[in-house]
Amino acid sequence: MEKGDLKLINKGEEEEMELQGYRLCRWRLALVGFGVLCTGGFLLLLLYWMPEWCVKSTCTRTTARDAEVVLLRSTDEFRRWFLARVQVMLAPGSNPFHSLETQTTSPSSPHSSPFSNPAASPVANGHTPHPSDGSPAQELKSRFSDYQPTQIRYFTLHSTKYYWSHEVQNFQVLIGLEDLQPKCSTIHKEHTTGLTRNQQEYRKLFFGVNDIAVKVPSVFKLLIKEVLNPFYIFQLFSVILWSADEYYYYAVAIVFMSVVSIATSLYTIKKQYIMLHDMVTAHSVVRVSVCRANKDIEEILSTDLVPGDVMVIPNNGTIMPCDAVLVSGTCIVNESMLTGESVPVTKTNLPNSAEGEGDSAYNTEEHKRHTLFCGTNVIQTRFYTDELVKAVVVRTGFSTAKGQLVRSILYPKPTDFKLYRDAYLFLLCLVAVAGIGFIYSIVLSVMHEVPAKTIIIESLDIITITVPPALPAAMTAGIVYAQRRLKQSGIFCISPQRINICGQINLFCFDKTGTLTEDGLDLWGVQRVENSSFHLSEENAYKENLVKSQFVACMATCHSLTKIEGQLSGDPLDLKMFEATGWILEEATEEETSLHNRIMPTVVRPPKQLLPPEPALSSEQDMELYELSSAYEIGIVRQFPFSSALQRMSVVARLLGEKRMDAYMKGAPEVVASLCKNETVPQDFAEVLEDYTKQGFRVIALAHRRLESKLSWHKVQNISRDHIETNMEFLGLIIMQNKLKTETPGILQDLHRANIRTVMVTGDNMLTAISVARDCGMIPPDDTVIIADAHPPHFGQPARITWRYADKPSKTTRYEDVNISLEDVCDEPKPKEQYHFAMNGKSFATIAEHFPDMLQKLVLRGTVFARMAPDQKTQLIEALQGVDYYVGMCGDGANDCGALKRAHGGISLSELEASVASPFTSRTPNISCVPSLIREGRAALITSFCVFKFMALYSIIQYISVTLLYSILSNLGDLQFLFIDIAIILIIVFTMSLNPAWKDLVPRRPPSGLISGPLLFSVLTQILICLGFQILTFLWVQKQAWYTPWTPFTDVCNHSSHLNVSDLNGTDLDEHNIQNFENTSLFYVSSFQYLIVAIVFSKGKPFRQPSYKNWPFVLSTVGLYIFLLFILFHPVESIDETLEIVCVPFEWRLKLFLIIIVNAAVSVLVETFILDIVLWKLVFSRDKQGNFGIPPAAPTPQGGIDLQVYKRLSWLSCLRKRAPKARYMHLAKELMVDPDWPPKPTTTTEANCSTYDIRINS
């Protein structure tokens, strides 16, 4: 092991980090301590802000194994630094899953050895786990007291413990039972007996207390953390400086602002912590029953649970305190905490397959239908005879699903947005400007032999002027107002910083069912199969002649419905299907259970009116025999729940009185047909299915199989679903109608007009999805859809993609070869037929793995992604973000959580008011919330730009004034500063942010960053204008005939001498030389300049409502204008004395007014004409709106680039030889000149090392 090695922890995961080991160095610590004393504690602050400097300045590099301190750096785009202290824990062994009896007892063993003496007590989580004599932990310790304890090294970061592993020579996280990678059969065989108390205490040392501890920090801790923010430290420095310069009023005002800001921030943070704490602790500590290895059932607190414990789920349900896999019985669970959907889910016991027969390693994601997740509500349980419903604990604490969710809230990733990065760069520019002023003021003061104290104070004062203290509060105002407006529109936000990012969204993904289409499915009809051929379609199955058919039996049994408080509850599709049969579902009573040999929790039967009429009977005995024989009931013996990966579900059922059982299956037609005997599937199956799916129907296929008589109930409970779901007989199709929501087409058309691409991501059938995409306008009728069928490597054959062209509604020829002419981007483009790619989840996975470069090209024009699993939806979002799209995602909450969290702006249509799974949640159950969110995002983004530009100009204007006054050894007065900063700046900033969003979405987007041509041009031109007019004022006043250096005895106002010479005996000398003609003139001009740039920068259309509709802003600016004009033309002695303004002749006041009028005219002319009309169209549109690969506005919403715009932009592109900034633009530009793109129909692309071979299929 080399010294100073670099380790990688959480490899391949979202929280992947580089790790370096360090050891504390005493002489370095002493040197740093001396530096802290010399700098008055500033060095300590710097090391607090920069963890990497802290570690490198106080420690020396060492191996990770011997480290006392670890320095970690994230490998994502943020490259954040973290440090953690390595701690040592004593334990009887190093592996929590080893049996204590089998631990190595040799004192020389470095890896696992029990305790040596009672004094060596193991410590976990800062607590001793054996507080009193006689406890299990105390017995554990005394039992191994003769042996050397093992030292376990670990560190804690973000509520996760990382333990040193000798086997892999790295730090690892102990997740739970999954660390053993047990197979399903192994869990049944080795983990269902329970743990002994000793084993439970031993594992608790490693896994800690089963508690998701959200500690609410004390107000003092929060205050210290908030106050140590660099911004507040800078404010503290400013206040001290102003106090030293006797600017008490301004210092007090800033302190007041800071106190209000800190108090508000502390209140908000504390409230969020309390809300999260209350959400987590609700029902988190409960009493649970666990099975011990000696078959006893013991009641313990849920905080004592460890992975491997066998938990008994109570009959009346519970809130799950951990993640556990069900090994016996069935549970009905509400998982709304995780998914946002309150539809009850049936959880069945983990299949116990024989070794090698479909026995896979247990995984919480793959086996989620058998896993009870922490925080979910078990509504009720079902069990057979006296068997308890048991679950094996697999994860505890922060490793659980709920724990991971809470961790993502406690430790969120920073928001990566160009605006914020540019803001820091802009502040650095202001600091550089301040540095110039700092040097200038020092040189000037030294030349005039100013005292050293004054030089220091005035030089540092320049820095506090240039970097505005109110900037963060001002930037936040627009977001807060937007959040309030969103709330009024029924959109709730838990991540306010994302509102600005939503203003940049140029692509929106939509789930289909429940989002674009109605949530509820209606049964359109059924099409049964008999003798391998389809019957004519029928409206429903509620008929006497079908009541005893296998088709209806399948509809009545193959579902996951349950009765909760007497009401049928479950998946909406299952509900519609079951209701269409007219059958009755009953939970099995004890009497009914005995009839079915105690095997069924649920019984279904048809209503009596559908059964054949009863014949006349002669005796009571005959009556009883008949009732027994004519009772037509089906009991559900075993359920294999629906799996999105398998795209099917099945049940094993038995008809009352029958010895043999039946298997029923329903699912995606293609999947069901592939599991049926070929001779039972009609020959025209593909054509019939395609006909329905192209019309937009959702099609479900049914199948049946008579099981062997040798299969008993016990065998069925342990059999793999692969044994059941094979050699089925095809029964027919159920056709469900999923209507478009009335708002969908109109909203999508609005998005298309705004040049926002729309993409469908669904778990439904490919052709159904394409049909819906055409119906809602996502794909125009005349556009071509290219289906990419990808196949992974098979029997030595490389991975390949087969391209085929889907039918157009107006054409009859299948797989038509479409000639798409592609011209050079710099030539005038010719009209060409537009195309869209469609693919399913399997193809997407294959292309992502074997054709990564191809995937980027496909997502550029991919419009329909069907049969997508939840994790694939997230991968698609990442792929789109990888080519620089700003991606939005809209889903109904179920299965979309990962994608909603990953997208730049995810909005859930869940009915829950605030879903922790999505940054935005809409109360309105349709996509009308999407344009509202984007409009508010654009308005907030433009507001942020306006405020930032205004604050930058405010600083520079004040900086110019002060710098000019420094040249005559003067400055602005204390109350002048106060008037400008409080009365003008704060009022204007907080009112100019109130403009509501514009009513329509326009085709262009706001800029994404401050470092862009138009914005820089705007700021720099306004700076030059203000600089020019202030210099003009400063020099012009000195050229006036009446000008003379001002003294208290100076009288240039003729009849207004009393304004200057009142009570001269009591007049103190003006030590700071505040009162002079230059100061007064610059104060008037600069005060008007603040208002001028506020109006100029307060942009309205096309992203915000016009400023004249913002009444608070209008009243504020008009009020300030009136006040300033009043004191300019009608001096008031008390006001002039307060603001330290001197009297100037009336003709100079008129000249000042002329300067202000010309200044305003030039500012407005430059900003509105030159910037908005000329530069916006020529530079900004080219820079940001070159819609390479983005659909144009109507009338062809999803096709390509409008030809005239395209012509101009292409010409500009060629003229300037500038490559597009966004990767998707660059790719689209390349593909325009690629003669082999898009792929021709009936061709195949094969993966061949790093190249692709394209073959024509014969």
Q: Just list the catalytic residues.
A: 511
* CB-neighbour burial class of residue 817 (10 A; exposed 0-12, middle 13-18, buried 19+): exposed
- Long-range (24+ apart) CB contacts under 8 A made by 99-108 are 99/199, 100/140, 100/143, 100/144, 100/198, 100/199, 100/202, 103/144, 105/144, 105/147, 107/147, 107/148, 108/148
Nearest Cα residue to 698 out of 533, 858, 512, 434? 512
Name the residue among 717, 652, 703, 619 with its Cα closest to residue 326.
Answer: 717
Q: Show Cβ contacts of residue 1042 under 8 Å, excluding neighbours closer than 6 positions.
A: 1052, 1145, 1148
Q: Are strands 318-319 and 377-382 parallel, antiparallel or unpaired?
A: antiparallel
**DSSP E strand stretches across 211-335:** 287-291, 297-301, 310-312, 318-319, 323-328, 330-334
- CA 899 from chain centre, in angstroms, equals 8
Structure tokens at 12: 């391949």
How far apart CA 235 and CA 434 sit, in angstroms, is 16
CB count in 10 Å sphere of residue 265: 17
In angstroms, the CA 1152 to CA 648 distance is 81
DSSP 519-532: SS-EEEEEEEEETT
- DSSP-derived 3-state class of residue 152: strand
Structure tokens belonging to residue 1034? 């400063």
Residue carrying the six token digits 């109605």: 518
Query: How deeply is 1241 buried, as exposed, middle or buried, from its count of CB atoms within 10 A (0-12, 13-18, 19+)?
Result: buried
Q: Are strands 6-9 and 17-24 parallel, antiparallel or unpaired?
A: antiparallel
Residue 1233: Cβ within 10 Å count = 13
CA angle 121, 122, 125 (to 5 degrees): 130
Order across the sheet with 87-91: list the strands.
87-91, 150-157, 160-165, 170-173
- Residue 1158 phi/psi, 5-degree rounding, is -65, -40
Distances in whole angstroms, Cα of residue 1146 to Cα of each of 1056, 1130, 1153: 10, 10, 11
Q: What does the alpha-carbon distance between residue 1258 and residue 1256 come to, in Å, rounded to a whole number?
A: 6
C-alpha–C-alpha distance, residues 1012 and 368, integer Å: 48
Q: Strands (DSSP E) along 553-696, which ranges?
A: 562-564, 567-569, 584-587, 602-605, 634-643, 648-655, 662-667
Residue 186 to residue 97: CA distance in whole angstroms:
14
Angle ∠(45,49,50) on CA atoms, nearest 5 = 115
The pairing of beta strand 697-706 with beta strand 729-737: antiparallel
Strand partners, 381: 331
Closest to 121 in 3D by CA, of 134, 101, 137, 107: 137
Q: Are 129 and 201 in contact (CB under 8 A)?
A: yes
Q: Check: CB of residue 1034 under 8 Å from CB of residue 1084.
A: no
